């Protein structure tokens, strides 16, 4: 289980880094083209109409993947206040995990409903189904469930440790 967590972490981090690099590149090209518009000879207009939309959706994916990625590192601030104040109380850790599982289940359930309801709608500039954009919500919820279950198994000294 520990190897699975490391592999999933590596994949998620790689996706986040790739998205962040792509967002940076697209944003830089978009800024340069907008800045150079007045100086283009003969009124040539270079436009990247999909850049803003792509950046918006990529940042959305980065945020959801990042929210899931901090779970194994115990990086959620509000829940860490309790677990750090009472580090030896097993019930506090269990309640913290139960809260994360509940919220992740909501992400999975309602995220799947939103994906299904938006499956035929297309994004304005990219012309891809909004299903693919919103798929990150239930996917991040499932990733959160995976991380919490792995953490619970490792804490009790089970196969994950």
Q: Tens digit of pLDDT for each residue in 80-122?
A: 777 777 777 778 778 888 989 999 999 999 999 999 999 999 9
pLDDT number for residue 160: 41
Quick one: pLDDT band at residue 154, thresholds 50, 70, 90? confident
Other CB atoms within 10 Å distance of the CB of residue 59 = 13
pLDDT score at 78: 63
CB 140 within 8 Å of CB 112: no
> What pLDDT shows up at residue 161?
37
**Burial (CB count within 10 angstroms: exposed 0-12, middle 13-18, buried 19+), residue 111:** buried
Q: What is the pTM of this model?
A: 0.84
Higher pLDDT: 139 or 78? It is 139
How far apart are the C-alpha atoms of 82 and 116, rounded to whole Å? 37
């Amino acid at each position: 289980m520990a190897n699975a967590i490391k592999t999933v972490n590596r994949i998620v981090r790689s996706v986040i880094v790739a998205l962040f690099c792509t967002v940076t590149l697209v944003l830089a090209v978009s800024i340069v083209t907008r800045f150079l518009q007045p100086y283009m000879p003969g009124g040539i207009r270079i436009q990247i109409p999909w850049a803003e939309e792509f950046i918006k959706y990529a940042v959305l994916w980065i945020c959801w993947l990042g929210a899931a990625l901090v779970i194994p590192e115990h990086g959620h601030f509000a829940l860490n206040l309790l677990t750090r104040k009472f580090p030896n109380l097993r019930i506090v850790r269990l309640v913290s995990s139960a809260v994360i599982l509940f919220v992740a289940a909501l992400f999975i359930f309602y995220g799947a409903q939103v994906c299904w309801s938006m499956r035929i709608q297309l994004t304005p500039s990219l012309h891809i189904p909004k299903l693919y954009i919103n798929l990150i919500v239930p996917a991040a919820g499932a990733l959160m469930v995976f991380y919490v279950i792995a953490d619970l198994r490792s804490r009790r000294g089970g196969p994950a440790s």
